[in-house]
Amino acid sequence: MQNPNISPLNPLPPVVTALFLAIMGIEAAFSLGAYGLAGGAQAVGWRVAAIQDYGFSSDVFRWMLENGRYPPEHLMRFVTYAFVHGTFTHALFVGVMLLAMGKFVGEVLAQWAILAVFVAGTLAGALAHGLFIQSQPWLVGGFPGVYGLIGAFTYLLYVRLVSKGSGGGRAFALIGFLMGIKLLFGLLFGADATWLADLAGFAAGFAVTIVLAPGGWARLRARLRHE
């Protein structure tokens, strides 16, 4: 007999819930401050100040490379930018996609592996943006980390399809659709240079999941030996 106390919905991985609460909690403070509901008069500038202090800047990144200096307050930008968003809508979309992708990936990966994928996507997104984007120096928001989870989801789906004898190409339908939407919006409303950071996040998430997935390291080693 089925246990009536079992929820029909799989619970979210705690690490995903923690990331979501961190992102939306920070955004709530910015939004309340902007409407004068918290923090007093100075709270109106909380978002702008946070972007300047914690957002990732291509200009700052190039300054570090040119001078060979890597202060901790600038290195932390590689991660902290993921928790600062330009608008409430920006943060909301990131939060929703984080919950969706985190739930799917959490059915296979361990807690620490989910966090590792998110961080890998975040780091890769900042690095790609810093190296190749000059026209839009500031990068904020958790999309590169979320795209890392999409990369993990894509790899896990690819493995599942291949194991069933199906074509693995179908696993890339989601990233193809999302990149197509970004291209369409870019053509309609102007180019958005953040697509490169998102794509780099996806690639990083896909790559690290090859090792982090259960049996992934053994599978990779066997494939390399076979080749």
Neighbour count for residue 173 (Cβ, 10 Å): 11
Is pLDDT of 157 > 60? yes
For the segment 28-35, the average pLDDT, to the nearest whole number, is 90
In order of their start, the domains of the chain are: 14-225 (1.20.1540.10)
pLDDT, residue 167, reads: 80
For the segment 17-39, the average pLDDT, to the nearest whole number, is 91
pLDDT confidence band for 1 (50 / 70 / 90): very low
Interval 173-211: pLDDT, tens: 999 999 998 888 777 776 678 999 999 999 999 999 999
What's the token pair of residue 21?
A: 């609460």
Interval 68-82: pLDDT, tens: 999 999 999 999 999
Measured between alpha carbons, how far is residue 19 from residues 88, 90, 179, 207 in Å? 16, 15, 24, 22
Above pLDDT 70, what percent of the chain?
89
Angle between helices 14-34 and 88-106 (to 10 degrees): 170
CA distance 65 to 69: 7
For the segment 93-122, the average pLDDT, to the nearest whole number, is 96
pLDDT, residue 152, reads: 97
CA distance 227 to 220: 11
Lowest mean pLDDT: which of 91-95, 122-126, 146-150, 222-226? 222-226
At residue 5, what are phi and psi to the nearest 5 degrees?
-85, -5
pTM of the model: 0.90
For the segment 154-164, the average pLDDT, to the nearest whole number, is 91
Higher pLDDT, 156 or 37: 156
